[in-house]
Amino acid sequence: MHVKELGHLVLYVKDLARSRRFYGELLGWNEITPEGGMQFPAAAFTSGRTHHELLLIEVGASAAPLPKGRRLGLYHFGLKVGETDDELREARDALQAAGAKIVGASDHGVTHSLYIEDPDGNEIELYIDVQPARWKDDPSAVFAEIKPLRL
């Protein structure tokens, strides 16, 4: 077996309407709705690359929150938001205007990244590729020293 690509993510959310607004309106993903609607409280989104890249399933307000700090499980997932620092600045400005929680910013050498949290505390890396082909020639470039991002 050989994995070809990461296909999609599925996240449990407390409030589906709140998460729909976050992923659809703020992050700009297109919501897709099957004919006849969903069979359970859920929403699917795509960037157009494939049938769906994100599925949100509502589990309700009584669901246990994500534990903070170092733990097993998902740390964050990355979403490419463009090719230039100007596009990353535009993303930052839109996030700030919407009151989104920005929890970090890093220069990884091959990428420039902003880190945010969704309404349920899932961390998301929004990034641009600085040197898209560099890692192919030098795989160690992915593990270069992380520096503060200066936008």
72 vs 49: CA distance, rounded Å: 29
CATH number of residue 131's parent domain: 3.10.180.10
56 vs 43: CA distance, rounded Å: 5
Read off the pLDDT of each residue in 10-27 and give the average, rounded to a whole number: 97
The domain total for the chain is 2
Instruction: Indicate whether 45 and 83 sit together in one domain.
Output: no
Instruction: Indicate whether 28 and 84 sit together in one domain.
Output: no
pLDDT of 50 higher than 80: yes
Instruction: Indicate whether 81 and 142 sit together in one domain.
Output: yes
pLDDT of 133 higher than 90: no
Instruction: Indicate whether 42 and 81 sit together in one domain.
Output: no
Instruction: Identify the domain containing residue 25 by its residue range.
Output: 9-58
What is the pLDDT at residue 134?
77
Which ranges in the chain belong to alpha helices (H)?
A: 16-20, 85-98, 134-137
> Is residue 1 assigned to a domain?
no
Q: Is the pTM of this model over 0.85?
A: yes
> Is residue 103 assigned to a domain?
yes
pLDDT of 39 higher than 90: no
Query: Which residues 6+ apart lie within 8 Å of 45 measured at CB?
Result: 23, 24, 29, 30, 31, 32, 52, 53, 54, 55, 56
pLDDT band at 107 (very low <50, low <70, confident <90, very high): very high
